[in-house]
Structure formats: structure tokens, C-alpha cells
Amino acid sequence: MELAELKTMYKLPTHIGFIIDGNGRWAKKRNLPRSQGHIKGFNRLEKVYKMVRELGIKYISIYAFSTENWNRPKEEVDGLMKLFRRVIKDFYNKNKYEDTRIEFFGDLNRFEEDIKTGALDIMERTKNNKDFHINICMNYGGREDIVQAVNKLIKQGKTLVTIEDISQNLYSKNCPDPDFIIRTSGECRLSNFMPWQSTYSELYFPKVLWPDFSKKDLIEAIKEYSSRDRRFGAIKE
Ligand code: IPE
Ligand code: IPE
Ligand code: MG
């Protein structure tokens, strides 16, 4: 089935959040070092952006590295930093991303200077692009995001805040809440991914490990989303 056909057959989300889990288990199953799983997993990303775009979905957020992931062995963290450098280099390829707005969600100060400045530069250079949006969550923690938003508001002198105030000060201020969150590898939790924005997200936990996530898995996911009845607390006539 062609992905473009799905548009006419199924209800599609506007924003998909992907928690890309299972890289380590993918490697372990093959007796490979965990870093190989991450390489495979990061290679998948470009294919997934393409597929999601083909479907006509406007926003995609990738949970690539949590604030808690710094607690992993140094060797693994170093391997992931190498991959972030590669991701940043790839985003500099103008032809591929000229109509895409790329944002990094998370505190970039914890990264080495080249990663931080590369990420900031890409955000600046793509800020007027509108057709497709990719958000990379790295050193991202949903609770930390809420706290930094509240602190910004306090600095502005606010003593009472609204839902809108907080939403407008989160990293995700430029995009709608994710309608659909897919976490691969069968784990049924969000692990600090968008707690504020996911209150009404449809959650989906396929067993597939992220490095194996294929077109078939995306189609399955879209079918699942389309079958959900989103009521937002109301009832149907
Ligand atoms: C997710 O894969 C990717 C990152 C956290 C960067 P994991 O590394 O968590 O894979 P598992 O859960 O150990 O299989
Ligand atoms: C969540 O996965 C973070 C990312 C996918 C980047 P983890 O593998 O770190 O989460 P836990 O430890 O299973 O909750
Ligand atoms: Mg994991």
C-alpha cells in the first residue's frame, strides 16, 4: 500500500510523538554492542521522517535522549553524542530540509559546544519554514520543561499563571499537542516525554524494536489511531 493512499482512507494525526525505544535490546539480540543498536536506530530516523511526510502529517517529535539518559555508561553516552553530531550534520543538508522547521527541545547547555551551537544554528536557519516540522527532544525532560516555563513566567513578574501561559513557554510552543504517541519496544510508559502536552494523546505501544520500525509498522499505527474514538471528556449525540 502506498502511504499517500492512507490519507484518503484513515483519520490521521497532526502531530506524532515517537519514543524511539529498543535500540539496546535490538543489539543484544544480535550479540552486538548497544552502540550498534543506536546507530541502526538513528539510521531509521530519516526513513521515518520521509514516510511521515508522505502521509501528509505536519509535525513529528522524536524523543532521542532524556535527561535521565546521562546516567548510562560513558561509552554509550559518548556513542550517542557522536550520533547527535551526525544528525546535526545531516540537517545542514539544505536540499533535504529546505521547507522543514527543525527544533531541538531540551536544555542544550549540557552538550559540548559544537553540538549546542550546531543545534541553535539549525533552529535559527529553519525558523521560517512551514511545510513540515521535526522536533528532536534531546536532554529533554517533560517535568524540567514545565519548571523552566514557570521560572520564565516568574522572571516576567507573573504571580498567577494560566494553562495558556505555561503552554506558550514550553519548548513545544510552536506546535500543537501530539495527538498520537508511539513508543516502540512494548514498554508502556512515557518516561518523562511531554507530560503536559500528552493529556489527551492517544498512546500506542507496539512490540517492534525501534531499529526495525518499518513502513508496515507505521501503517499499522495509523490504522490503530484511526480506530480510536477521541472524546475529550464529551459524549457523542
Ligand atoms: C532508546 O533505546 C534510545 C535511547 C535511549 C537513546 P534504548 O537504549 O533505551 O534501548 P533498550 O530500551 O535498552 O532496548
Ligand atoms: C526513554 O527511553 C527515552 C528515550 C527513548 C530517549 P528509556 O529507555 O531511557 O526509558 P526507560 O528507562 O525504559 O523508562
Ligand atoms: Mg529503553
As a whole number, mean pLDDT of residues 193-203 equals: 98
pLDDT exceeds 80 at position 219: yes
pLDDT at 207: 98
Helix axes 34-55, 215-227, angle to 10 degrees: 60
Give the β-pairing of 180-183 and 15-19.
parallel
Residue 174 and residue 9: Cα distance in Å, rounded?
Answer: 29
Q: pLDDT tens across 59-73, in order?
A: 999 999 999 999 999
CA distance 232 to 30: 43
Q: Is the pLDDT of residue 110 over 80?
A: yes
In CATH, the number for domain 21-144+176-226 is 3.40.1180.10
List C-alpha distances in Å: 50 to 47, 81, 100, 124, 139.
5, 23, 12, 22, 24
- Which of the residues 31, 69, 165, 217 is marked catalytic? 69
34: how many CB neighbours lie within 10 A of its CB? Answer: 19
- From 62, 82, 139, 185, mutation site for ligand 1 pocket: most ligand atoms within 8 A of C-beta: 185
